[in-house]
Amino acid sequence: MALRIVEIVVDPANEQNVKDAIKDQEVEDTWYARAGDEKLSVRILVKAEKAERLLDVLSQRFEAFQNFRIVVMPVEATLPRVEDDSGEPSPKTPEIGKGNRMWIKRISREELHADVDDSSDLDPVYVITVILSVLVAAIGLLKDNVAVVIGAMVIAPLLGPNVAMSLATVLGDNKLIKQSARTLAIGFFISLSLAVLIGMIIEVDPTVQEIAFRTNIDLSDVVLALASGAAGALFFTIGASTALVGVMVAVALLPPLVVLGMLLGSGQFGLAFESLMLFLTNLICVNLAGVMVFMVQGIKPSHWWQSVLAKKSVAYSLFVWVALLLIMIVLVLLYS
């Protein structure tokens, strides 16, 4: 069972306010400590799925105060053990299906946001990783080596910004949407440009099995992309980020993009179009599935004015992604 330490640092004069704020929350234990006369540190042990409600209550009560800070820390283990009450969930706990309730236990909105924020940064590591993953993927594709292609899928950092964009959509976080979209666009541009250059230098044989796989698309690829994207987003909400490796392999964006570039570079434009369709299908399905899973998991902004923006963002996003998916399905049926 996942646990979190929620630590709030406030002015000592607010000690009673902290007690009043958490008295109705489902917490496992609480510790109070003073750091001189200027700060009061309160550590609260809580189950991971109940942390979001606690964070909302604390932030709404104290966000107007100076020297206010909340820190969330994962707990590896604690003794005595905390019992897992697997009975009916408390009405205080956000859950899906009944108003704002979650049907599968998940980590807090703030933890999710922190996880995706790093993955959407455009930094030298991201650029270098994209370049290396394209080189590895190209070698694996040209040599028809499945293991090398899978290695490139795992190295490629393109899935992170997609998840970030889906989460930002349901939170109405326009800044994160723009940041992740820019990071994705630059990653795609670098990948495609390098792949085109490789295709111009090295002879590309479209009959090689690993390349041929990315030049044939049917409806099963749409189903695979949707299912894999949904699984990835679901694992992300429960904090099992290591399980995303499997999703990277199942619905990788990089191999079809590299095949597209190499075929364009070698002048094989007809086959390149089918690779483009596969890439766009995966891209659309990952984002659509991500938005839907985050919605079903009850991930919403903490303030009502952010909720208004989030509803518009979700409605627009769903319209765009569903419309694009329908277009891709029609194209798949025409070319299959």
User: Phi first, then psi: what are they for 146, rounded to 5°?
Assistant: -60, -40
Which pair of tokens denotes residue 27?
């917490």
**Averaged confidence pLDDT in the chain:** 84
**Over the range 119-145, which residues count as b (16 or more CB within 10 Å of their CB) and which as e?**
bbebeeebeebbeebbbbbbbbbbeee
**What value does the mean pLDDT take over residues 308-335?**
91
Confidence of residue 11 (pLDDT cuts 50, 70, 90): confident
Confidence of residue 100 (pLDDT cuts 50, 70, 90): very low
Lowest mean pLDDT across 90-94, 109-113, 131-135: 90-94
Helix residue ranges per DSSP H, 202-268: 209-212, 219-237, 244-250, 254-265
* pLDDT tops 90 at residue 322: yes
* pLDDT tops 80 at residue 293: yes
pLDDT at 277: 93
Instruction: Tell me the per-residue pLDDT of 113-167, one tens digit each, with 9 for 90 and over.
Output: 888 887 788 889 999 999 999 999 999 999 999 889 888 888 888 888 888 899 9
Say what percent of the chain tops pLDDT 90.
37
Residue 31 DSSP SS3 = strand
Interior CA angle at 68 toward 92 and 62, to 5°?
40
* pLDDT tops 50 at residue 98: no
Confidence of residue 260 (pLDDT cuts 50, 70, 90): very high
pLDDT at 246: 45
Higher pLDDT, 103 or 72: 72
DSSP state of 5: E
Instruction: Tell me the per-residue pLDDT of 63-81, one tens digit each, with 9 for 90 and over.
Output: 877 778 899 998 888 888 8
Lowest mean pLDDT across 140-144, 194-198, 203-207, 216-220: 216-220
**What value does the mean pLDDT take over residues 27-44?**
86
pLDDT at 80: 85
Confidence of residue 61 (pLDDT cuts 50, 70, 90): confident
Q: What residue segments make up the domains of the chain, in order of their start?
A: 3-74, 109-335
Question: In angstroms, what CA-CA distances link 6 with 27, 182, 279, 306?
Answer: 10, 33, 41, 23
* pLDDT tops 90 at residue 196: yes
**What value does the mean pLDDT take over residues 184-190?**
94
This prediction's pTM = 0.82
* pLDDT tops 70 at residue 283: yes
Q: How far apart are CA 10 and CA 313, in angstroms?
A: 34
Pairing of strands 69-75, 39-47: unpaired
**What value does the mean pLDDT take over residues 250-254?**
69
Q: Which residue in 109, 7, 99 sits closest to 49, CA to CA?
A: 109
pLDDT at 94: 42
Confidence of residue 292 (pLDDT cuts 50, 70, 90): very high
CATH number for the segment(s) 3-74: 3.30.70.120
* pLDDT tops 50 at residue 91: no
* pLDDT tops 80 at residue 252: no
Helix residue ranges per DSSP H, the chain: 15-22, 51-62, 109-119, 124-142, 146-155, 159-171, 174-201, 209-212, 219-237, 244-250, 254-265, 269-296, 304-335
